[in-house]
Structure 1
């Protein structure tokens, strides 16, 4: 084989390895990608089978602890739409009704089954999409 052919073979093999590495990185990124939605977006465009984060306020009076002591049901709202949430695990200390929260999980049969619950960490915290939705809902209520 001539040196020119060897060089072309090495360049071809290098490009193939580079393409394989790029594909593996892209594949890993897609598997770990989590979208953030509001309750209104969740109900209008359900993300079937995909893990998403949903942010909003915990509706007052909606927190119910089940008999097993670990599973809780509550409602997340953006003041326009509400989505029931079921979570099995220990809730964060800052989790309270009427306060902001972000839940991660999947919508199954009209109930959002959460695998993780994050509570607001200071007075100003609110997921950007949830803050925007709350502002729009408040403006819509004022117009009525």
Structure 2
């Protein structure tokens, strides 16, 4: 009898270990596309993405670049005060979207222009996503980023812990 109980216990532990390993692998596979950190314009310029890669671009809307075209067509540039990337968007912008405001756009880079499919804006006058604040300098100040040696992107990522 003890042999049968011991065998059954080993079988249950083995099945539980396989199930745990499989569920961990499935969660990791599912989150592969679900985790979307954004890239700053400096990162995009230093390491251009693949032509069909969809990613997020984050930074500040550059002053003087916001231009409304025919219908819902809008063009502007996103900057981290080190580099800027032109953005093209067709759709309705969030109410709080404007020049010198924080934004994160989802889309892909086509011939040097970021074609956005979704635009997110900051929530109120004091809010800025931590990743945007870290990428552009303290409080989004252009002077804070302009004097930073890390404006030249060398492959390291901007801090995103604690978000």
| Secondary structure in 1 matching 2:75 | strand
| Secondary structure in 1 matching 2:21 | helix
Cα pair distance change 1:45/1:12, threshold 3 Å: same
Asked if the contact 2:41/2:78 (under 8 Å) is kept, the reply is yes
Question: In the TM superposition, what are the counterparts of 1:1-144 in structure 2 within 5 Å?
Answer: 3=4, 4-48=6-50, 49-67=52-70, 69-135=71-137, 136-139=144-147
Count the aligned residue pairs.
Answer: 138
Q: Which has the higher contact order (CA 8 A, sep 6+)?
A: 1
Q: Could you tell me the TM-score, scaled by structure 2's length?
A: 0.72
User: Quick check: which one's strand share is greater?
Assistant: 1
Instruction: Give ranges in structure 1 of 5+ residues lacking alignment.
Output: none
Asked if the contact 1:102/1:127 (under 8 Å) is kept, the reply is no
* Counterparts of 2:28 and 2:130, CA distance in 1: 26
Instruction: Give ranges in structure 2 of 5+ residues lacking alignment.
Output: 138-143, 149-163
2:140 is aligned to none
* Counterparts of 2:78 and 2:120, CA distance in 1: 12
Q: Could you tell me the TM-score, scaled by structure 1's length?
A: 0.80
